[in-house]
Amino acid sequence: MTVSHRLPRSMAAALAVAAASAAAAPAAAQTNVSFIMDWAWQGPQAFALMARNEGCFAEGGVNITLDRGFGSGRTPVELASGTYQMGLADLNPTIKFRAENRDSDIIATAILFAGSPLVAVVRADSGIEEPGDLEGRTLAAPDFDAGRQLFPVFAAATGLDADSVNWISVSPELREPMLVRGEADGITGFVTSSVPSLVALGMSEDDLRVFYYEDFGAELVSTAVLTTRAFAEANPEAVATVTRCMIRGVQLAEADPEGAIEALVAHEPLTDPEVELIRWQMTIDDMLRTDMAVAEGISTIDMDMLQRSIMSVEDAYGLENALQAAELFDDSFLPPAEERMFLSD
């Protein structure tokens, strides 16, 4: 910077110091947030990449790290341990976690997908025609799989004896092959994960029988943004930013499914775009675009229904009916309803 000789020496010196200070000033501090997803990077997870790629987190003062997950049951464990500050998960394993750990302060700041994707899947030629036929059979799933953790809720809704079912614990990538090879009578999980994966392994939808938990009276919500109350109180602006940006990502991905899969392929080059587009479209149709979300915005939730869902999880595990919906879901970090509407409508 050249200072005009017409300025008094004292003023010129002051300007020079100010200019040097501005040049040396660091950028506005950003809050680091380590975020764990609910599962591997697939179509239903691509929305988070769209939000990141748009710059939503950075513009809101958050330096976010997005890591793949290993099942919705693992997310609350990671948050409680402090390994991650925020995460994504089917809400029901968190309900179970909080009901079993009454001093836990894990909360949901948004419920992105209200429709439940939880299913048990068997081969159509297995002789398993209805849920009760699963008694005495062997199911395969990861330990932290939401479908496995919530199987007692499904069992209670259908009247089958959950204790009679045998379980094989497998890593996520081995679950569907176990069913294809006949090494398990069935599997549990998200329909958006299991059915497209089975089709990709050579099975047709006619080869499968899919039991949706919600079709048998299991009243369950689904995918939520989670954190701890302690982190939220210490970092309210960062939590509000992450919550808003995750909703923004869902809006972008719903309006442009192909663009979401392009973002996914750029992040995970070995992704099969056709399979992942199917997964994401299933998520949109079955889980995201509920009547209430379309009419009132993403993460508009019937709190009475959420309370019933909490009680059904507590009852299935023989736990005290103590957790209140308002303790679990804190909507104060949500953007206004008009900012949560679908862009495609």
pTM: predicted TM-score of the whole model, two decimal places = 0.84
Same structural domain, 169 and 290: no
pLDDT of residue 28: 60
What DSSP state is assigned to residue 237?
Answer: H
Same structural domain, 102 and 199: no
Residue 4 lies in a domain: no
Residue 284 lies in a domain: yes
Same structural domain, 308 and 281: yes
pLDDT of residue 1: 35
Residue 100 lies in a domain: yes
Going along 142-294, which residue ranges are E strands? Answer: 166-169, 186-190, 208-212, 223-228
Same structural domain, 245 and 328: yes
Q: Is the pLDDT of residue 316 over 90?
A: no
pLDDT of residue 332: 98
What distances in angstroms separate CA 275 from CA 42, 85, 120, 125, 198, one per listed residue?
9, 31, 20, 24, 10
Residues linked to residue 110 through DSSP beta bridges, in sequence order: 225
Expressed as residue numbers, the domain containing 330 is 31-115+221-339
pLDDT interval class at 18 (50, 70, 90): very low
pLDDT interval class at 5 (50, 70, 90): very low
Count of domains for the chain:
2
Residue 23 lies in a domain: no
Residue 260 lies in a domain: yes
What distances in angstroms separate CA 172 from CA 14, 39, 146, 274, 291, one per listed residue?
63, 9, 12, 20, 32
Q: Is the pLDDT of residue 217 over 80?
A: yes
What whole-number percentage of the chain has pLDDT above 70? 92
- Given 216, 245, 269, which residue is the final one in a domain? 216
83 vs 217, more confident: 83
Same structural domain, 111 and 225: yes
What whole-number percentage of the chain has pLDDT above 90? 86
Q: What is the pLDDT of residues 299-308, one digit of tens each?
A: 999 999 999 9
pLDDT of residue 335: 98
Same structural domain, 185 and 315: no
